[in-house]
């Protein structure tokens, strides 16, 4: 589990990591949230010990509100090799589905929130589309978008693990900063 979460978005000291810029943001409660997420996953380990992978997947699906189909689709990518995949790789894959699911949800949420903020800030240009915001954010401000998405992922996983993270202040600071940067590009393109 540490491999999945720390490699992706948490620094060793359990602060939110921006890998590209090699910086991190300390948000109070991050360590507790991470431990609760980890413990919620570990609560399903008895299913694995009894070699009941399907029950482990069902437990995670229910606990973290991830559609069962997401797990099924990921495991199906192994095809006939699935029975031969070692247990550690299988567990990493199954837990990785949770991260991927929330990554997608959070990415859409971040783009939408930035788009709404830009729309509220810019009265002299047409409201940007989600595709415009996505393109500019990805091409020019990828690390900032990634940090925003990772913050939302951590908060959503914490919520599912009954450990809400008080992230709103940092969230809106990051949204405002990224929105301002993207708005500047939009205004330059508009002129």
Q: What is the pLDDT of residues 56-105, one digit of tens each?
A: 899 999 999 999 999 989 888 888 877 677 777 878 888 889 989 999 99
| Residue 130 belongs to domain spanning | 2-190
Secondary structure (DSSP) of 2-25: HHHHHHHTB-TTSPEEETTTTEEE
Count up the domains in the chain and report the number. Answer: 1
Q: What pTM was computed for the model? A: 0.87
110-128 residue pLDDT tens: 999 999 999 998 777 888 9
Q: In angstroms, how far apart are the furthest CA atoms of the chain?
A: 64
């Amino acid at each position: 589990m540490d491999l999945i979460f720390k490699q992706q978005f948490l620094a060793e000291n359990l602060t939110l990591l921006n890998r590209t810029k090699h910086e991190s943001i300390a948000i109070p409660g991050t360590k507790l949230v991470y431990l609760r997420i980890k413990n919620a996953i570990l609560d399903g380990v008895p299913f694995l010990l009894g070699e009941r992978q399907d029950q482990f997947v069902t437990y995670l699906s229910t606990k973290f509100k991830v559609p069962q189909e997401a797990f099924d689709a990921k495991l199906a990518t192994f095809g006939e090799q699935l029975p031969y995949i070692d247990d550690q790789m299988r567990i990493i894959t199954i837990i990785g589905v949770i991260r991927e699911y929330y990554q997608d949800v959070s990415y859409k949420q971040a783009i939408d929130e930035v788009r709404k903020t830009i729309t509220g800030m810019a009265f002299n240009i047409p409201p940007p589309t989600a595709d415009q915001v996505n393109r500019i954010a990805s091409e020019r401000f990828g690390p900032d978008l990634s940090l925003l998405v990772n913050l939302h992922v951590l908060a959503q996983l914490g919520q599912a693990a009954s450990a809400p993270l008080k992230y709103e202040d940092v969230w809106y600071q990051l949204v405002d900063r990224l929105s301002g940067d993207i708005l500047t590009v939009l205004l330059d393109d508009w002129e």
